[in-house]
Structure 1
Amino acid sequence: MNIAVLVSGGGTNLQALIDYEKQTPDCPYHIVTVISSTKNAYALERAKAAGIPAEIKSPYSVLGKEKAMTADRDQKRFAVSDAILETCRAYKADAIVLAGYLSVLGGKIIEEYKDRILNLHPALLPKFGGVGMWGHNVHEAVLAAKEKESGCTIHLVDSGCDSGRILIQKKVPVLENDTPDSLYARIAPEEHKAIVEGVCLLAKGI
């Protein structure tokens, strides 16, 4: 299964996918391209080091500076999503994996890749999902709610935000003196396992 991996930041989950593919002779997926929402994502360096072609698809790169400054949120979202769809078609990607991708996809890409887009979310959905729930915002919300456990979720992407069918969840305890950083440090290794498991599951299903 050819996959396009979408990223926005450091790319540790991308690295987990790269490492598994490299180290596993019968790996059921192959990363054909990495697409970043920002030009400064360290994930782009990881792609380069692994010899994977990478592209930046941001409102500025897709629409140009002038249009991007006047476009509303939906116009930007759909323009970027359509540009990502074109790239996925060009690389003949069978599936799309959102590995710490901080934008929300919309439009034709959701239909064309129905049940073939995976997202990793850093909490136990359906709790702590939706708009604004990403990165440390999620861990802060979990701690504020005095939850006893947290973790990560691999789910299929639909037209909502963090609302698609759940495939895998990994749980960790929330400790009394946890900070967002210490909670993230406990969840991160589980994310790396979950994203590989999720992509392999999808590959076998396809």
Structure 2
Amino acid sequence: MNIAVLVSGGGTNLQALIDYEKSVSECPYHIAVVISNTKSAYALERASLAGIPSFVKSPYSVMGKEVAEKADRDTKRIAVSDAVLEVCREYKVNAIVLAGYLSVLGGTIIDEYAGKIVNLHPALLPKFGGVGMWGHNVHEAVLAAHEKESGCTVHLVDSGCDTGKILVQKKVPVMEGDTPDSLYSRIAPHEHEAMVEGVCLLAKLLGYSR
């Protein structure tokens, strides 16, 4: 299963996918391309080191600075999504993996890849999902709600925000005295496991492995 991995930051979950593909002789997926919405993402360096083609598709790079600065959020979102779709078609991508991708896809790509996009979310959905729930915002909300456990979720992407079918969840306890940083540090290793498990499960669901 050829996958495109979409990233925004450090790319530790991308690295987990790279390492698994290299270490398993019958890995059910192949990372065909990496796409970032920011040119400063270290994930792009990880792709380069692994010999994986990579692209930056941001509102500025897709629309030009002058047009992007005047465009509204939805217009920019669709422009970037359409540019991502072009790359996915070019690299014959079968499925899309959102690995810490801090943007929202919309438009044609959602229909063309319906049931073939997975996202990693740093909480136990359906709790603490939706608009604004990303990164430390999520961990702060979990702590403010005095939850006894948190974790991460890999789910299918639909037209909503963090609303698609759940594929994999990993749970960790919330400890007394936790901060957003300490909670994240406990969840992070499980994110890497969940990311690989979720992509392998997607491959199975789509008929690329037994």
Provide the TM-score with structure 1 as the length reference.
Answer: 0.99
Matches within 5 A, 1:3-152: 3-152=3-152
Q: Alpha-carbon deviation of 1:78?
A: 0.4
Alignment pair present for 1:194 and 2:194: yes
Question: Within 1, Cα distance between the matches of 2:188 and 2:109?
Answer: 28
Q: Alpha-carbon deviation of 1:199?
A: 0.4
Question: Within 2, Cα distance between the matches of 1:176 and 1:84?
Answer: 42
Instruction: Indicate the SS of the match to 1:150.
Output: strand
Q: Alpha-carbon deviation of 1:101?
A: 0.2
Question: Within 2, Cα distance between the matches of 1:129 and 1:179?
Answer: 19
Give deviations 1:28-54, integer Å, cap 9, x for gaps: 000000000100000001000000000
Question: Within 2, Cα distance between the matches of 1:188 and 1:37?
Answer: 22
Q: Alpha-carbon deviation of 1:114?
A: 0.4
Q: Alpha-carbon deviation of 1:125?
A: 0.5
Question: Within 2, Cα distance between the matches of 1:199 and 1:115?
Answer: 12
Once the two structures are aligned, what percentage of the paired residues are identical?
79
Q: Which residue of 1 aligns with 2:204?
A: 204
Q: Which residue of 2 aligns with 1:176?
A: 176
Structure 1 vs Structure 2 CA RMSD: 0.4
Q: What amino acid is aligned across from residue 112 of structure 1 in structure 2? A: E
Give deviations 1:145-200, integer Å, cap 9, x for gaps: 11000000000000111011111110000000111111000000100000000000
Question: Within 1, Cα distance between the matches of 2:125 and 2:204?
Answer: 24
Instruction: Indicate the SS of the match to 1:154.
Output: strand
Question: Within 1, Cα distance between the matches of 2:42 and 2:181?
Answer: 19
Q: What amino acid is aligned across from residue 126 of structure 2 in structure 1? A: P
Give deviations 1:118-165, integer Å, cap 9, x for gaps: 000000001100111000110011011110000000000001110111
Q: Alpha-carbon deviation of 1:204?
A: 1.3
Q: Alpha-carbon deviation of 1:96?
A: 0.1
Provide the TM-score with structure 2 as the length reference.
Answer: 0.97
Question: Within 2, Cα distance between the matches of 1:146 and 1:138?
Answer: 13
Instruction: Indicate the SS of the match to 2:18.
Output: helix
Question: Within 2, Cα distance between the matches of 1:111 and 1:141?
Answer: 32
Structure 2: gaps of 5 or more residues: none
Structure 1: gaps of 5 or more residues: none
